[in-house]
Amino acid sequence: MESLKKGFSLVESLFASSILLVAMLILFQLFHVGMRYFSWVERRALATAVAERRLAELRNWSRTQNNWSGYPVGPDPLEPDFQISVSLSDYPLLTPSREIESNFSTPRRMDQSARMARVRVIWDRGHVDLHSLLVDRFRGWRNLNPIAISATIPGTVTATSTLTLSATGFDSSAQPIDDLCFSWYVEGVPPNAAQGTIAASRDGRTATFSNRAQRADGSYAPSSGQCRIKVRAIYDGQERWAETAPFNLVP
């Protein structure tokens, strides 16, 4: 009895060994999970860096393109093991601002000037998604005829006829400037200056002219004499004008 009190029994020793073994197994499992999580965090950080590099390539590409095609695709040269997918989606903007244009039933929209880019980087245990708004770079106005007016203007416009006009702006590469907004004006030509009425769409890309001049009392009446139609556009703070040749108004 005295010897048994001084040591552990076989059952107690086996039980203690079992507890120690279970504790070691739990510690090993925790270490393994920790290593896997560390590896996942490291791969995710690397995938994020790959996605950011591709977004930087897309931003640089958007400064040189004209039609939103041919954007960078394919694997990353530094990390070819990652799969990369790129997609561009429409991202309409309101001009001059959403707050102002929300007051109109037909707001002025810029549908071609921006795209939302999504870059997805995939690896064996997950994926990373990054988004960025791409904006087409303005390359400056064309030196000659930066704005073109499209219309068939007869020599004489009567009170019963109308003119339909449209305007297009061109950049320094002779490419049409998308989403440009225009303002239209009627200017009398001396010595017999005449006035008419021009009604434009909200974005000003199309307009209709009629031989109707407003009187002092607010009523309208046909005019006689000469006038021309002018159109104005501002892009990136730079103003440009275009005008038609003078034409005659008769009642």
The pLDDT tens digits of the residues spanning 169-226 come to 999 989 899 899 999 999 999 999 999 999 999 999 999 999 998 888 888 899 999 9
- What pLDDT is attached to residue 66? 64
Please give the average per-residue pLDDT across 218-235, as a whole number. 93
Please give the average per-residue pLDDT across 157-180, as a whole number. 92
More reliable by pLDDT, 70 or 169: 169
Q: Whole-model pTM? A: 0.72
- What pLDDT is attached to residue 15? 66
- What pLDDT is attached to residue 1? 44
Helix, strand or coil, per DSSP, at residue 250: coil
- What pLDDT is attached to residue 157? 93
Cα 216 from chain centre: 45
- What pLDDT is attached to residue 232? 97
Residue type, 95: T
Q: Is the dihedral of CA 168, 174, 177, 180 positive or negative?
A: negative
Above 60 in pLDDT, residue 4? no
Above 60 in pLDDT, residue 7? no
Query: Is the separation of the CB atoms in 163 and 151 below 8 Å?
Result: yes
Q: Quick: pLDDT tens for 117-131.
A: 999 999 888 899 999
Q: What is the DSSP string of 13-79?
A: HHHHHHHHHHHHHHHHHHHHHHHHHHHHHHHHHHHHHHHHHHHHHHHHHHTT-SSS-S---S--SS-
Q: Quick: pLDDT tens for 130-150.
A: 999 998 878 889 999 999 999
Q: Quick: pLDDT tens for 13-68.
A: 666 677 777 777 777 676 666 667 677 788 899 999 999 999 999 998 988 776 78
Token pair, residue 35, equals: 């290593």
Above 90 in pLDDT, residue 234? yes
Q: Quick: pLDDT tens for 87-107.
A: 999 999 998 888 998 888 888
Tokens 């046909």, residue?
A: 222
Cα 28 from chain centre: 52
Q: What is the dihedral of CA 220, 222, 225, 227, to 10 degrees?
A: 60
